[in-house]
Amino acid sequence: MARAAHILIVDDDAALRDGLAETVSDLGHHPVLAASGTEALERMAADPAIAAVLLDLRMPGALDGMAVLQRLRAGPRPPPVAVLTAYASAENTIEAMRLGAYDHLTKPVGRAELAGLLGGMLALSASAVPEPPAPAAASTLIGSSEAMRRVQKVVGLSADSDATVLLQGETGTGKEVAARALHAHGRRRAGPFVPVNCAAIPADLLESELFGHLRGAFTGATGDRPGAFREADGGTLFLDEIGDMPPSMQAKILRALQERVVTPVGGRPAPVDVRVVAATHRDLPRLVAEGGFRQDLFYRLNVVPITLPPLRERLADILPLAEHVLSSIGAGQKRLAPEAAAALMRHPWPGNVRELRNVIERAAVLARGAVIAADDLGLSETGPPGERPDILPAWVDGDLPGAVARLEEAMIRRALRESGGNRARAAKSLGIQRQLLYAKIERYGLRDAAVSGNPTEDVPNPDGRPLA
């Protein structure tokens, strides 16, 4: 068992705060409670023995969770801080990790997950966690699925570094979006972001495109050209589809990465200050084994590897991404019909996020009214029936919080029924604290069901069968 420690719990919700405190005590630690950001800073000042902080993100008053995190991390011996929120987004995940958070988790947090979290936080030397950087710009790295949240955390941790990043993933997964997020959230964000598609430029022009040339260096060179490396000086150079780079250029790119010096065609070597982010949809280790890609260049690029998950592994992100596309193209007044939302969830998305964007843009144009119907999407039913989880069209009607609430209520009803109305057993089966379950029972009006063990009528499936 870990050594007992003082754990500061900051949350304006008394039920959640007490539930966390109960679990922290059960794990052998001493909880210190604060209901606001101001109170949290006061507790920190009064108790130097506080070894870790569990911090809510949304709190009333002048100091929200992000402001408290920044204050805590600015101290001389900052404790590890884990941000807990029911409202996770790409922006607050990346920003929290940039500001030095140990982790960023969505509520509710189960007992086993909390035990592992505290174990890691208490094992961490507080002085080894870096100072918080300045606030970052916004990002469009949309996604709340676990797969995308892992990507967002790595982006936040590596944004301020000059280490080379290799983005890998299928075509259309959003590698350039991730590259722009690394730039926008990093210390080089005031500098230029220069993208170069290595597969789209003829091999005989790629050297000039990247390194530049002097006037008269070759036929057609009617003027000086700085090249992408020097254009990105002080910022970020994004080398997209680097797996398609000709072998003759790979050695020159390797030298530029190693020495941070480029030689324009017909000119002299010049130093550059640039962060390189590369991307490819190809299997580089296999290309290396087959002799199609330099092994030393692969190692030089693969300093910080980030793999973008395919959209078929990001079910929780499909509808938020669709809504984001509608908003970004100025069609935010249109909404998806339940059948259209269900069709989006069933589709296997071989083209990933890029395909989803194209589908939504087309549907926004073709839909005659304010509601986008399934037929407007133009999707065919593909993939074997058992390949994907059952999708319930009625559940995706309305907004996302409403769908989540309906699922949550049904799960609580089932847990209470299966436990015979025993709240402690129901909370354990759901993986949440008892205090949180009590609060949700009140919210959904399930007190009678919880006490008697006879739940009210189940939320129906569209085909008439009970959901739970």
pLDDT in tens, 20-70: 999 999 999 999 999 999 999 999 999 989 999 999 999 988 889 999 999
pLDDT in tens, 66-85: 999 999 988 878 899 999 99
Q: What's the pLDDT at 236? A: 97
- Show Cβ contacts of residue 148 under 8 Å, excluding neighbours closer than 6 positions: 90, 141, 142, 309, 314, 317
* 169 pLDDT above the threshold of 80: yes
Based on the number of CB atoms within 10 Å of its own CB, is 98 exposed (0-12), middle (13-18) or buried (19 or more)?
Answer: buried
**pTM for the full predicted model:** 0.72
Residue ranges of the chain that CATH labels 3.40.50.2300: 6-128
**What CA–CA distances, in Å, run from 414 to 151, 276, 408, 447, 466?**
34, 51, 10, 14, 11
CA 322 to chain centre: 16
Q: What's the pLDDT at 125? A: 47
pLDDT in tens, 413-446: 888 888 888 888 888 888 788 888 888 888 877 8
67 is written with which tokens?
Answer: 């402001």
Q: What's the pLDDT at 117? A: 92
pLDDT band of residue 398 (cuts 50, 70, 90) is low
* 1 pLDDT above the threshold of 70: no
Q: What's the CATH number for 6-128?
A: 3.40.50.2300
Which residue, among 347, 443, 343, has the nearest Cα to 396 in the 3D structure? 343
Alpha-carbon dihedral 103, 107, 110, 111, rounded to 10 degrees? 70
Structural contact between residues 57 and 64, judged by C-beta atoms closer than 8 angstroms: yes
Name the residue type at position 357. R
Q: What's the pLDDT at 232? A: 95
> Which ranges of 173-294 does DSSP label H, i.e. alpha helix?
175-184, 203-211, 228-231, 247-259, 284-290
**What CA–CA distances, in Å, run from 57 to 40, 70, 168?**
13, 12, 31
pLDDT band of residue 390 (cuts 50, 70, 90) is very low
* 152 pLDDT above the threshold of 50: yes
Structural contact between residues 446 and 421, judged by C-beta atoms closer than 8 angstroms: no
- Specify the CATH number for 311-396; select among 1.20.120.530, 1.20.1630.10, 1.10.8.60, 1.20.1080.10: 1.10.8.60
Overall average pLDDT of the 342-359 stretch? 94
- Who has greater pLDDT, 191 or 133? 191
> Percent of the chain beyond pLDDT 90?
54
- Count of all residues that appear for the chain in the document: 468
Q: Mean of the per-residue pLDDT values for the chain?
A: 84
Phi-psi region of 220 (alpha: psi -120 to 50; beta: other; left: phi over 0): left
Phi, psi of 201 (to 5 degrees): -105, 130
Q: Residue 342, SS3?
A: helix
Residue ranges of the chain that CATH labels 3.40.50.300: 146-307
* 181 pLDDT above the threshold of 50: yes
Overall average pLDDT of the 157-182 stretch? 96
Residue ranges of the chain that CATH labels 1.10.8.60: 311-396
Q: What's the pLDDT at 465? A: 41
Please name the fold of domain 146-307.
Rossmann fold (3.40.50)
pLDDT in tens, 197-242: 999 998 888 988 999 888 877 777 777 888 899 999 999 999 999 9
Structural contact between residues 75 and 129, judged by C-beta atoms closer than 8 angstroms: no
Q: What's the pLDDT at 417? A: 84
